[in-house]
Amino acid sequence: MTTIPLSAARAGLVSCETCELLSRPADAAEPGYCPRCGAGLEWRHPGSLQYTWALVIAAAICYIPANVLPVLTTTALGSSDSDTIMGGVVLLYTTGSWPLALVVLVASVMVPLGKLIALTYLLVSVQRGSIRDSRDRTRLYRMVDFIGRWSMLDVFVDTFTVALVQLQPLMSVEPGPGVLFFAAVVVLTMIAAESFDPRLIWDSAPGEPLRRHAT
Amino acid sequence: MADTPDLPNVPQATVVPGKRARISVIWIIPILAAVVAIGIAVQRVMNEGPTITIVFRAAEGMEAGKTFVKYKDVNIGQVTAVKLSPDHARVEVTAKMAKSAADLMVEDAKFWVVEPRVTLSGVSGLGTLLSGNYIGFEVGKSDKKERKFTGLETPPIITGGQPGRQFVLHAENLGSLGIGSPIYYRRLQAGQVVAYDLAPDGKGIDLKIFINGPYDRFVQAGTRFWNASGVDVSVGAGGVDVRMQSLVSLIAGGLAFETPSFATGPEPAAADTAFTLYSDQATAMKQPEAISTRFVLYFDESLRGLSAGAPVTLLGLTAGEVTRVGLDIDPATSKVRGRVDVVAYPERLVTRLSGEQRATGESLARSAQQRHALFQQLVERRGLRAQLRSGSLITGQLYVAFDYFPDAAKAKIDWNQDVPTLPVVPSTLPDIEAKLTSIIGKLDGLPYEAIGADLTTALGSLNGTLRDAGTTLNHVDSNVTPELRSTLEDLRRVLGTADGLLKDGVNTTLTGVNATLEDLRRPLATADLVLKNTDATLLGQNSAIQQDLRDALQEITQAARALRVLMDYLDRHPDALLRGKTEVKP
């Protein structure tokens, strides 16, 4: 404990999330409203962990049908063909286009799964009051937050293909139910990442006064 | 609010319950997700049909995930894996069936690969050209569930639910028939051959046929089936008769059936009834002969050309057939003779009788006693005899004719014999031969050489005669011609005299005529004068009539001119007719 860095909470101040104005809270439990912009002041996102947990669990549940159910049903010359995400990856790989298979594998399988695992890890570590690798965990959170929007790639491809390939009698592409769940996974993890308050990572640091508040 | 007393050990009571205890609404999302996911999972599990394995000889066009199992063109399953059997001899196809088809997977369900098939009797499975092969399915009748099947190599032609019934035909051989060969009823396709197999004893072929829907009730116990393959050409007195069921049957073979009028019953035959397949329509439709009378005939002549099945005719109508042609040794004379067994069918003749007589005929046919009596009478009184006759001079086929020979030697029928012997008369055919032979013999006996010699001498004398004629002509030429010439000269002289005489006579006659004509001229001149006078009086230049005529004509000319002037005026002034003539202006 050489020098404990000063944080807003430790100084008994609260920062406005909207205009970043540092102000003295009206009450420790109910910090009140920002005197400058009028936004509600909060020490941390209320129920951040609960929200994030709920969304992560929902996303995890959706992840299963997203991978099991077909995302695309191609009907070509009377024979229809349903493909799941992993099936598509395998098909791409076996037909020789492994870079494409890698892209799909990373964007559609690993990224959502990685996000789920990362968020779970962050949640568990925060709840356990871990103080280790707080900096790395913050970086992880930033990555999760950043990458979120890119994992809709699969859904985009799907919608484009469905819209473009409609040569009715010869060939048509129909979206499968899997794509709905996949989109749900992406959206839910994005909201989960959004609702997670990264400041909680640092609340477990020694001397931080908000250890009990955040749940 | 601001002045909180600084007592760290005293907790401040909260106004609202702690946030910890409150469970956020957000938990609805995972619960919803879980419900949906579980719902889908449950639905999946509920719809999960059985997974079956079908063993095929080869996985023709089958692909995991792409090949479907179809029943009545509805997908009831999908191939999930295609792999070799453990012994690498066959292909095991794993298919996931729909839940709805779960109870169809019974022991005797049939599976086969549907691929485009072009056969003589049609093209099938064209849809597979686009969609790829699929596995056809046919329900079984068993109740026993089964998960492992053996696929059929050829598709069964009949698919379940199709109304109709199956029958069995016993055939001598398969001929040109095959699976799918059409079966015709009155030239309408009514069914097809479904399967065939060698009879268990190896003697013949058992054909399984299927007669479709409404036609199956025309198959009755007495129905006859015959092979309708190819063309049936028969040459009769009425011309050439060509029969053919259809072009397809000509190529692919076919069967036909019909119920003969004598065997028609109201009840359709039960399914799987066995029938005999006849080789042709005539054989099939032949009436079974219930009543028959057998006879034996002993011939002392050549039986060449007579075979079993040859017709026996009565007055030219078929009355029976030859059953056997053989030899016999007469116990009395130890003479080898020909023995012909024939069978007569009285019923055939009865059907030829006219209406009123038919009843009598039928009773006659039924009662052996009456029949024998009639036969007896015919043989003894009318001279009914059997005789060999030639059916065709070219092929030399013989048949047996029952005919009347009143001059034949008296004979009797011994009905007590096992097979009564019918008296015969020798064939007329050998007579013809003998006559021909005798003619040829006589021709042979003619003295050709003597005739030739006579002819030669006759020709020689003729030659001499001709030579004599030549000399005679020469003689005439040298002796008679000069005489003839002098005679002609005399004749000319006589004619000259006649000419002179005639000239004088004619001349005197002509002068007479001249004088007569001169006399005629005088009265004519007088007539001429009279006429001239008349001319002068009537038509002369200054005659009165001429003058009057000229005046009249001048009058007419003037009148015509006046009329023309009037017409011209009227033309210009048509109103003058109404108003009168107006003053002409200068």
ipTM of the assembly? 0.75
Written as six digits, the tokens of B302 are 């050549």
pLDDT at residue B2 in the model: 46
Written as six digits, the tokens of B183 are 């079966």
pLDDT digits (tens, 9 = 90+) for B353-406: 777 777 777 777 677 777 788 878 888 888 888 888 877 666 667 888 888 888
Give residues 146 to 205 of A whose Cβ lies within 8 Å of B. Answer: 177, 181, 184, 188
Beta bridge partners of B388: B400
**How distant is the Cα of B89 from the closest Cα of chain A, in angstroms?**
28
pLDDT at residue A134 in the model: 81
Helix (H, G, I), strand (E, B) or coil at B346: helix
Please check whether residues B94 and B122 belong to one and the same domain. Answer: yes
Q: How far apart are CA A67 and CA A56, in angstroms?
A: 17
Residue B198 lies in a domain: yes
Q: Under 8 Å CB-to-CB from B271, ≥6 apart: which residues?
A: B165, B166, B167
**How distant is the Cα of A131 from the closest Cα of chain B, in angstroms?**
22
Sheet harboring A166-167: ordered strands across?
Answer: A79-83, A72-76, A171-175, A166-167
The number of angstroms, rounded, from the C-alpha of B426 to the middle of its chain's C-alpha atoms is 42
Q: How far apart are CA B20 and CA B293, in angstroms?
A: 117
**How distant is the Cα of A160 from the closest Cα of chain B, in angstroms?**
24
Provide the residue range defining the domain that includes B202. 164-285
Interface of B with A (CB under 8 A): 1, 12, 14, 19-20, 22-24, 26-27, 29-30, 32-34, 36-37, 40-41, 65-66, 127, 130-132
Please check whether residues B261 and B328 belong to one and the same domain. Answer: no
pLDDT at residue B118 in the model: 63
Return the amino acid letter for A168: Q
Please check whether residues B212 and B328 belong to one and the same domain. Answer: no
Residue B452 lies in a domain: no
| Count of beta carbons in the 10 Å neighbourhood of residue A162 | 17
Last residue of a domain, one of B150, B185, B200: B150
Last residue of a domain, one of B150, B181, B215: B150
- Whether B26 sits inside 8 A of A50 (CB atoms) is yes
Residue B53 lies in a domain: yes
Written as six digits, the tokens of A166 are 């409609």
pLDDT digits (tens, 9 = 90+) for A131-157: 777 888 888 888 888 887 777 777 787
Mean pLDDT of B240-269: 72
Residues of B in contact with A184 (CB under 8 A): 33
Between B79 and B500, residue with greater pLDDT: B79
Please check whether residues B278 and B382 belong to one and the same domain. Answer: no
Alpha helices in B351-447 (DSSP H): 355-366, 368-377, 428-445
Domains of chain A are: 1-43 (no CATH), 47-203 (1.20.140)
Nearest CA in chain A to B42: A65
Q: How far apart are CA A169 and CA A78, in angstroms?
A: 8
Helix (H, G, I), strand (E, B) or coil at B235: strand
Residues of A in contact with B30 (CB under 8 A): 54-55, 57-58, 61
Query: How sure is the predictor about B127, in pLDDT bands with cuts at 50, 70 and 90?
Result: low
The vertex-A82 CA angle with A81 and A83, nearest 5°, equals 120
Q: How far apart are CA A97 and CA B547, in angstroms?
A: 142
Query: How sure is the predictor about A71, in pLDDT bands with cuts at 50, 70 and 90?
Result: confident
**How distant is the Cα of B66 from the closest Cα of chain A, in angstroms?**
7
pLDDT digits (tens, 9 = 90+) for A156-203: 877 887 888 777 767 778 888 888 888 888 888 888 888 888 877 777
Last residue of a domain, one of B285, B317, B334: B285
Mean pLDDT of chain A: 79
pLDDT digits (tens, 9 = 90+) for B400-457: 888 888 887 777 777 777 788 888 888 776 566 777 888 888 888 888 888 888 999 9
Q: How far apart are CA B312 and CA B237, in angstroms?
A: 19
Asked if residue B36 lies in contact with residue B45, where contact means CB atoms within 8 angstroms, the answer is no
Mean pLDDT of B36-44: 85
Mean pLDDT of B575-580: 74
The DSSP code sequence of chain A is: ---PPP-TTTTT-EE-TTT--EE--S-SS---B-TTT-PBP-SS-TTHHHHHHHHHHHHHHHHHHHHHS-SEEEEETTEEEEE-HHHHHHHHHHTT-HHHHHHHIIIIIIHHHHHHHHHHHHHHHHHTT--TTHHHHHHHHHHHHHHGGGGGHHHHHHHHHHHH-EETTTEEEEE-HHHHHHHHHHHHHHHHHHHS-THHHHHTSTT-TTTTT--
Written as six digits, the tokens of B305 are 């050309």
Mean pLDDT of B495-504: 80
Q: How many domains does chain B have?
A: 3
The number of angstroms, rounded, from the C-alpha of B195 to the middle of its chain's C-alpha atoms is 30
Q: How far apart are CA B204 and CA B470, in angstroms?
A: 93
| Count of beta carbons in the 10 Å neighbourhood of residue B254 | 25
Please check whether residues B297 and B426 belong to one and the same domain. Answer: yes
For helices B544-572 and B448-539, what crossing angle results, to 10°?
90
Is the confidence at residue A77, as pLDDT, over 70? no
Residue B336 lies in a domain: yes
Residue B524 lies in a domain: no
Written as six digits, the tokens of A157 are 């491809």
- Whether A47 sits inside 8 A of B26 (CB atoms) is yes
Asked if residue A46 lies in contact with residue A99, where contact means CB atoms within 8 angstroms, the answer is no
Helix (H, G, I), strand (E, B) or coil at B223: coil
Tell whether the torsion through CA atoms of B199, B201, B202 and B203 is positive or negative: negative
Please check whether residues B145 and B182 belong to one and the same domain. Answer: no
Please check whether residues B113 and B230 belong to one and the same domain. Answer: no
- Whether A58 sits inside 8 A of B33 (CB atoms) is yes
Is the confidence at residue B230, as pLDDT, over 50? yes
Q: How far apart are CA B115 and CA B71, in angstroms?
A: 15
Asked if residue A207 lies in contact with residue A42, where contact means CB atoms within 8 angstroms, the answer is no
Query: How sure is the predictor about B251, in pLDDT bands with cuts at 50, 70 and 90?
Result: low
Sheet harboring B74-84: ordered strands across?
Answer: B110-114, B134-138, B68-71, B74-84, B91-98, B48-56, B148-150
Please check whether residues B96 and B227 belong to one and the same domain. Answer: no
Between B161 and B481, residue with greater pLDDT: B481
Nearest residue to A152 via CA among A177, A179, A119: A179
Please check whether residues B269 and B193 belong to one and the same domain. Answer: yes
Query: How sure is the predictor about B207, in pLDDT bands with cuts at 50, 70 and 90?
Result: confident
Written as six digits, the tokens of B206 are 């058992």
Run of H or E including B119: strand B117-119
Residue B189 lies in a domain: yes
pLDDT digits (tens, 9 = 90+) for A34-55: 888 877 777 777 777 888 888 8
Is the confidence at residue B467, as pLDDT, over 70? yes
Q: How far apart are CA B423 and CA B145, in angstroms?
A: 74
Classify residue B408 by its DSSP letter.
Answer: S
Nearest CA in chain B to A169: B130
pLDDT at residue A213 in the model: 44
Written as six digits, the tokens of A129 are 């009051």
Classify residue B220 by its DSSP letter.
Answer: B
Mean pLDDT of B193-200: 82
Please check whether residues B192 and B120 belong to one and the same domain. Answer: no
Run of H or E including B39: helix B28-47
Out of A26, A82, A184, name the one closest to residue B33 (CB): A184
Please check whether residues B205 and B221 belong to one and the same domain. Answer: yes
Is the confidence at residue B121, as pLDDT, over 60? no
pLDDT at residue A214 in the model: 41
Residue B157 lies in a domain: no
Is the confidence at residue B159, as pLDDT, over 70? no
Residue B109 lies in a domain: yes
Is the confidence at residue B226, as pLDDT, over 80? yes
Q: How far apart are CA B1 and CA A118, in angstroms?
A: 41
Among the listed ranges B193-197, B295-299, B318-322, B532-536, which one has the minimum average pLDDT value?
B532-536
Q: Specify the pairing of strand B68-71 against strand B164-171.
A: unpaired
Helix (H, G, I), strand (E, B) or coil at B385: strand
pLDDT at residue B384 in the model: 83
Please check whether residues B175 and B135 belong to one and the same domain. Answer: no
Percent of chain A at pLDDT > 70 equals 87
